[in-house]
Structure 1
Amino acid sequence: MTMEAQTTTGKFVVPIGPQHPALKEPGHFEFTVDGEIVTGASVRLGFVHRGIEKGAEARNWVQNMYMVERVCGICSHVHATAYALGVEQLAGVTAPPRAQAIRELVAELERVHSHMLWLGVAAHEGGFDTLFMYSWRDRETVMDLLEAICGNRVHYSVNLLGGVKYDIDDKLADQLRKGVDFLEGRCEHYMKVVTTDETFVGRTKNVGKMSKEEAYELGSVGPTARASGVDRDIRIDAPYVSYEQFPVKLITDDAGDLQARFVVRIKELYESFRLIREILDHMPEGELTVKVPRRIPAGEAISRVEAPRGELLYFLKSNGTDIPDRVKIRTPSLCNWSSVVNYAVGHKLADMPMLLAGIDPCFSCNDRSVTIHRGGNVQNDWSWEQLRQYGIAYYR
């Protein structure tokens, strides 16, 4: 996939990637510059395609629960939640209230994990390695809490079709409260840094500004859009799991610059802490699962959730068997890339790493489809096994 914005011929082109110290995943960027000022920008994605959507067509509904978690390690729970909601919609079942509350609880813990990881990466791209080390050190706390719930620190595997695997007892609830109290205190320090540190403010204030109208036009989602005043959050607009019982307060900012994206995400951490406490204090009683048939009735379903980066959408199609006919995933990173290549123009080349990190990009989230041409107009659809054998032969 290639996107371009206001490219200018006859100027010097600076390539970044697909392998570059500033990129944690492979992506290729070309910035056309006039001196130090960027006059054009383009991005090419698709370097980490893993065939997950195609692979889902060769596995049953239960096996795919664990495959979709691998779309993104940082958003594994929310992918599994979106998938489970779609399958449950097709099957005509609803998970018990206690399971829905636990899904929301883990989703908010995952949001804390994601935002703190992003804070460190974004600070590192701007040369603020002290903030990077502090935030990643404190991030260990939320990873320990997630490990206490499910035994895993990244791919949590909390969800089942029809419910969840793990319960929250009183001892675990107290541990979660203590961890949240510690993290909330640390976030006060982070907020002070991003709003008062002279060097940090100089690198972020009025940098990469995007108006509310531009955010709508470019299709931005999540904290990137909310930092430009867009009042859109799937947890509020289309509540799922237990977000109706434990609602979210919308966090927005009208500045629309890079600093506002930091502020919005840190404020969202405070909101996640409040939600976690409220769920723990008013956890519904009852079972954790309901029975879901092995063969899912034929039909189509769309499920939408609010991932840490923004709206995540799943389209599922069943042909009445135990294997899905189609699993289509649209991730928030895909929606936010166009905003980067748009507001990069006019800024200094040195601002590009922080601007790229500002949307919290996930390259592997985008890369799920590939077309192989063997000369001429010949184009074939390959099975999962053919794709696998092609990869083995290519790297042999």
Structure 2
Amino acid sequence: MSYKLPMGPYHPGLEEPYKLEMICEGETICDAKLHIGFNFRGIEHLAETRNYIQLIALMERVCGICSFIHTLTLCQALEKLTGLEPPSRALYIRVIMAELERLHSHILWAGIAAKLMGFKTLFMACFSYREKIMDMLQAISGNRVNYSMNRIGGVNRDITDPDVVLNMVNLLEGEIARELVPVFTSSYTARSRCAGIGILTREKAQSCGVVGPTARASGIPQDLRRDAPYAAYAEMDFDVPVEAEGDVRARLLVRAHEILQSCRILRQAIARLPPGEYARNEAKFVFMTGTAISRVEAPRGEVVYSVSWKENSRTPSRVHVRTPTYVNMPAVRWMVLGARVADAPLIQASIDPCYSCTDR
């Protein structure tokens, strides 16, 4: 006899309010339904009432973990509407900030995953590394969460001492490569709790349209940084980690290897940081009539912004945001099929969901 077991919308295993309604037989999940929409923040509507300066500040608050990525995606769209091209130094600084934010997001997720596994020692280690990354972000921007770095035509702050940042990256990479990645890739606890759990096949991943590490863990080698380069990524040499198993362990391994690739990109970007100005100092921006699309590879996957503007208008006529969780979350239903109820919190967390930025 089957029964319904709700997880959420408020549950210790959930980061944010959403509901996974599981249909179970004994301890086995036979089907599941995902319910979202418990938050409504009205950010897209508010965007239509803000000028371009207020708009950047507003969209930075779509997501606290990916605040730089959201303003980067927005500013790239606004630069298409104004015809402004950021200087080379600004493009490199954008890469540096984006990869530091990716490190922050991946290590934060690793800590949460370790906690759900019952691996509290690893949880504390991850949050120790996270503090060091936030120190680097603060050293560059002056802030630990919302950095206020992006502007139309460049960035607001320069990296005045690249060697200090490079030394911090080298030190952090050494610690992560020596201590964190081997635990995730070879420890018995990580393997026993993650291997063969929450499998999403390549075919199902393609039919669901998943993006980011969730897609790459199911054998789909997609990454906008390589496939549709933006900022200065076309000048970076890096690999795109891909795993074929499609289980929780594969999603864990993809992020672990991406941490090391981010450090590799950071070393290149800092070492090659070109001289010159870091922003176009325009007295007034002139927006043309039209719609601009911008895509960026966020830590969780592809973020898409569509910005519409009318000439001589002070505010946009439409700002639409598609976050990676929006396309990744339907796959949770297929991941939990046949799994044990006790594994459901870890499985849903393996896509690194962010429902507050999905429920805009």
Q: Please give the TM-score of this superposition, normalised by the length of structure 1.
A: 0.88
Task: Report the counterpart of residue 87 of structure 1 in structure 2.
Answer: 78
Q: Letter of the aligned partner of 2:301 in structure 1?
A: G
- 1:238-266 Cα offsets, whole Å, 9 max, x none, are 11111112244221111211111111101
- 1:349-390 Cα offsets, whole Å, 9 max, x none, are 01101101100000111102xxxxxxxxxxxxxxxxxxxxxx
SS in 2 for 1:316: strand
The answer as to whether partners of 2:82 and 2:285 remain within 8 angstroms in 1 is: no
The answer as to whether partners of 1:126 and 1:353 remain within 8 angstroms in 2 is: no
- 1:318-346 Cα offsets, whole Å, 9 max, x none, are 01112000000000011111111112110
Quote the Cα distance in structure 2 between the aligned partners of 1:46 and 1:288: 40
Q: Please give the TM-score of this superposition, normalised by the length of structure 2.
A: 0.96
The answer as to whether partners of 1:236 and 1:247 remain within 8 angstroms in 2 is: no
Task: Report the counterpart of residue 147 of structure 2 in structure 1.
Answer: 156
Larger-Rg structure: 1
2:201 aligned with 1:211, yes or no? yes
Quote the Cα distance in structure 1 between the aligned partners of 2:87 and 2:151: 12
State the Cα distance separating 1:174 from its structure 2 match: 2.4
- 1:26-50 Cα offsets, whole Å, 9 max, x none, are 1111111100000011111112221
Aligned residue among 336, 345, 348 for 1:353: 345
Task: Report the counterpart of residue 64 of structure 1 in structure 2.
Answer: 55
Count of aligned residue pairs for this structure pair = 357
Measured at CA, do residues 48 and 248 of structure 1 come closer, stay the same or move farther in structure 2, by a change above 3 Å? farther
2:287 aligned with 1:296, yes or no? yes
Quote the Cα distance in structure 1 between the aligned partners of 2:187 and 2:8: 31
Aligned residue among 36, 47, 57 for 2:38: 47
Task: Report the counterpart of residue 163 of structure 2 in structure 1.
Answer: 174
Quote the Cα distance in structure 2 between the aligned partners of 1:212 and 1:28: 26
Quote the Cα distance in structure 1 between the aligned partners of 2:176 and 2:253: 11
Q: Letter of the aligned partner of 1:360 in structure 2?
A: D
Q: Which runs of 5+ in 2 are unaligned?
A: none
Quote the Cα distance in structure 2 between the aligned partners of 1:271 and 1:174: 19
Computed over aligned residues only, the root mean square deviation of the Cα atoms, in angstroms, reads 1.2
Task: Report the counterpart of residue 268 of structure 1 in structure 2.
Answer: 258
Quote the Cα distance in structure 2 between the aligned partners of 1:231 and 1:66: 33
Task: Report the counterpart of residue 230 of structure 1 in structure 2.
Answer: 220
The 5 Å alignment of 1:108-257 reads 108-170=99-161, 173-188=162-177, 189-257=179-247
The answer as to whether partners of 1:295 and 1:322 remain within 8 angstroms in 2 is: no
SS in 2 for 1:93: coil
Task: Report the counterpart of residue 332 of structure 1 in structure 2.
Answer: 324
Instruction: Out of 227-236 and 183-192, give the one that drifted further.
Output: 183-192
Task: Report the counterpart of residue 106 of structure 1 in structure 2.
Answer: 97
State the percentage of identical aligned residues: 43
The answer as to whether partners of 1:301 and 1:316 remain within 8 angstroms in 2 is: yes
Quote the Cα distance in structure 2 between the aligned partners of 1:128 and 1:33: 27
Task: Report the counterpart of residue 12 of structure 1 in structure 2.
Answer: 3
